[in-house]
């Protein structure tokens, strides 16, 4: 399985929950050097070994990619990829209004 990040630009209106989830999985796999197949969307971030430095970098990259503000605490409040994706999709929907 490839660990290449999903390449979707903020102008690409096809950002959906599936592509966002894949981006998060690929980001964590690539950054922590673990197989993407070992990252389950319902696993807690800390179970993957995600520390605050990696979490902060991930948040900044998400903000740049999605073009929305993501609170620095998002990964710690939304403790799984699934929860984070749900929260970010709601923020994206609100930003389009």
Please report the sign of the dihedral spanned by the C-alpha atoms of residue 40, residue 83, residue 24, residue 8. positive
Is 17-96 a CATH 1.10.1200.10 domain? yes
Mean pLDDT, rounded, for 55-68:
95
- According to DSSP, residue 4 is labeled P
Q: How far apart are CA 80 and CA 97, in angstroms?
A: 26
Q: How far is CA 21 from the centre of its chain?
A: 6
Domain boundaries, the chain: 17-96
pLDDT of residue 96: 83
| pLDDT at residue 14, rounded to an integer | 64
How high is the mean pLDDT of the chain?
87
DSSP 22: H
pLDDT at 8: 42
Q: What is the dihedral of CA 43, 46, 52, 56, to 10 degrees?
A: 0
């Amino acid at each position: 399985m490839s660990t290449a990040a999903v390449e979707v630009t903020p102008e690409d209106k096809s950002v959906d929950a599936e592509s966002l989830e894949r981006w998060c999985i690929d980001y964590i796999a690539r950054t922590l050097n673990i197989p993407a197949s070992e990252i389950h969307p319902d696993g807690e971030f800390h179970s993957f070994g995600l520390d605050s430095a990696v979490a902060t970098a991930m948040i900044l990259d998400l903000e740049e990619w999605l073009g929305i503000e993501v609170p620095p605490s998002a990964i710690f409040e939304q403790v799984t990829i699934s929860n984070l994706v749900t929260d970010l999709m709601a923020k994206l929907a609100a930003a389009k209004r």
